[in-house]
């Protein structure tokens, strides 16, 4: 089946960030355990990566696991780690084939050794790919990111008078990526949840009702089309 050529806006967001929400509700609606929803959610990621490459998106950042998620039931956390372990093992070759450059944002301390090694191996394998940068926010929290940036600046002896927004941005995990143009939170929930709280200050947000495992190419295209209808002002008043 030939895909219909997408009707893209004049300005396609170069950096899209996604809070992949709704896995648990997706599973509950089907009478399945929560981990089945998480597995379906990770399986869905390939569709979104392929669509981003098709639509000309250059950077995709996904919120995979937050610093707060460690507080979930031990069985769920352990299951999530096993799923992530399997996904890296299974999908790395496909990511590489798609021309995606894998990056990790967040902290790897506290993550099981096998998963840490797979993440590092994946970043090394794909480091020269340039069709899409895939930032995986894993063991990530926006406030923690800023705290780590402040600690690094203090360690480097930065003069307080030299601190600017540009300097702070260089100390963040996303230092060599543009700020996100569009942030999508699936499932209809309208919260930031400690995600890219510095970088997304002037991003456009959309909150589709679709649960993450069902969020595919057409839903992503609709979000991009909605972005194209927005007037981005960055706090200014535009003359007409």
- The residues that are catalytic are 21, 69
Beta carbons within 10 angstroms of residue 56's beta carbon:
14
Nearest residue to 224 via CA among 63, 3, 8: 8
3 DSSP assignment: P
H or E element that contains 143: helix 142-155
Contacts of 197 by beta carbon, 8 Å cutoff, 6+ apart:
142, 143, 146
What's the chain's Rg over C-alpha atoms?
Answer: 18
DSSP alpha helix (H) spans, 64-135: 74-97, 113-126
SS3 of 136, please?
Answer: strand
What's the burial of 60, exposed, middle or buried (CB within 10 Å: 0-12/13-18/19+)? buried
SS3 of 164, please?
Answer: coil
């Amino acid at each position: 089946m030939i895909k219909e050529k997408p009707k893209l806006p004049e300005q396609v967001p170069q950096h899209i960030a996604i809070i992949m929400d709704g896995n648990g509700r997706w599973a509950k609606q089907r009478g399945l355990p929560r981990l089945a929803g998480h597995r379906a959610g990770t399986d869905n990621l390939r569709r979104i990566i392929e669509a981003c490459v098709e639509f000309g998106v250059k950077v995709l950042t996904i919120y995979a696991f937050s610093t707060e998620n460690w507080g979930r039931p031990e069985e769920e956390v352990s299951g999530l780690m096993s799923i992530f372990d399997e996904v890296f093992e299974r999908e790395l070759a496909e990511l590489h084939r798609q021309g995606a450059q894998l990056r990790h944002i967040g902290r790897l301390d506290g993550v099981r050794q096998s998963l840490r090694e797979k993440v590092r191996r994946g970043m090394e394998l794909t480091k020269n790919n340039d069709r899409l940068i895939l930032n995986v926010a894993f063991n990530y929290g926006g406030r923690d990111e800023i705290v780590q940036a402040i600690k690094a600046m203090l360690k480097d002896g930065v003069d307080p008078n030299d601190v600017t927004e540009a300097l702070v941005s260089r100390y963040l995990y996303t230092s060599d990526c543009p700020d996100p143009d569009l942030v999508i939170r699936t499932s209809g929930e309208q919260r930031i949840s400690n995600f890219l709280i510095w970088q997304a200050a002037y991003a456009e947000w959309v909150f589709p009702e679709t649960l993450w495992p069902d969020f595919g190419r057409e839903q992503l295209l609709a979000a991009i089309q909605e972005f194209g209808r927005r007037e981005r002002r960055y706090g200014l008043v535009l003359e007409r």
